[in-house]
A and B are shown apart, each in its own frame.
Chain A
Amino acid sequence: NAGVTQTPKFQVLKTGQSMTLQCAQDMNHNSMYWYRQDPGMGLRLIYYSASEGTTDKGEVPNGYNVSRLNKREFSLRLESAAPSQTSVYFCASSLRTGVNYGYTFGSGTRLTVV
């Protein structure tokens, strides 16, 4: 009963390096999301995928790219990491988009860019 699995759990990057955060869900959910959480800022939506084959920008998409690899997997890529991208990243999924569906969140990836 894994739910939403994120890898890695921790990562330190140097400015300018690239990396991909992985997310997989085993609940047969259609919709997947990437959020970041910063102290005092709450969660902010980066990108989401309403269904396999579609992606849309959220509130703070600059500096990120996403890939909905298949129904289970949704990855987040930082092409050239910046210190402002130091944050905790959460992946989430829901049965589908819409107001009547709750989200299941992963345990997060703690990223530090130095």
Chain B
Amino acid sequence: DAKTTQPPSMDCAEGRAANLPCNHSTISGNEYVYWYRQIHSQGPQYIIHGLKNNETNEMASLIITEDRKSSTLIQPHATLRDTAVYYCIVRSGSEKLVFGKGTKLTVNP
């Protein structure tokens, strides 16, 4: 599975959009981009995933660049409960999810 690079931390004001970047420059054609988050002391929570096209669900939007070498997770109206560590993961066929260090997002009032 391709390696990902994320900033270690970000801050966001409550009610504003949180845009979390992820670099995956070595991604191959059959690898999906996944986003999970982990709120303190809880299990990881699936957010969204995509292959080539931008995706949106009730939790967030995923923007993948045309060359697929990077992506951005967008949480349009961040709340205090969105404070968590966000993990960007690239998956091929392996059942092993490789969680890196992620981005610690702090939503401030």
Question: Measuring CB to CB, which residues of chain A are less than 8 angstroms from any residue of chain B?
Answer: 4, 31, 33, 35, 42-43, 45, 48, 50, 56, 58-59, 90, 92, 97-100, 102-108
A99-B44 in contact (CB<8A)? no
Closest to A108 in B: B43
What are the nearest 6 A-B pairs in CB distance? A105-B43, A102-B46, A42-B99, A45-B96, A43-B99, A105-B44
Given A33-B95, A43-B44, A58-B95, decide whether A100 and B32 contact each other with a Cβ distance below 8 A: yes
A98-B45 in contact (CB<8A)? no
* A52, chain B: closest CB distance, angstroms: 16
Distance A58 CA – B94 CA, assembled complex (angstroms): 10
Most buried by B among A35, A59, A99: A99
A107-B43 in contact (CB<8A)? yes
Contact of B91 among A33, A50, A99, A107 (CB under 8 A): A99
Distance A33 CA – B99 CA, assembled complex (angstroms): 15
A103-B93 in contact (CB<8A)? no
9 A-B pairs (CB sep. < 8 Å) = A42-B98, A42-B99, A56-B95, A58-B96, A92-B44, A99-B30, A99-B92, A103-B44, A107-B42
* A108, chain B: closest CB distance, angstroms: 5
B97-A45 in contact (CB<8A)? yes
Given A42-B99, A42-B101, decide whether A102 and B49 contact each other with a Cβ distance below 8 A: yes
Distance A8 CA – B38 CA, assembled complex (angstroms): 20
* A114, chain B: closest CB distance, angstroms: 21
Closest to A4 in B: B43
Which residues of A lie under 8 Å from residue B42 when comparing CB positions? 107-108
- Having A33-B95, A99-B32, A107-B42, one finds 4 other A-B pairs with CB under 8 Å, namely A43-B97, A100-B32, A100-B49, A103-B44
* A54, chain B: closest CB distance, angstroms: 12
* A98, chain B: closest CB distance, angstroms: 7
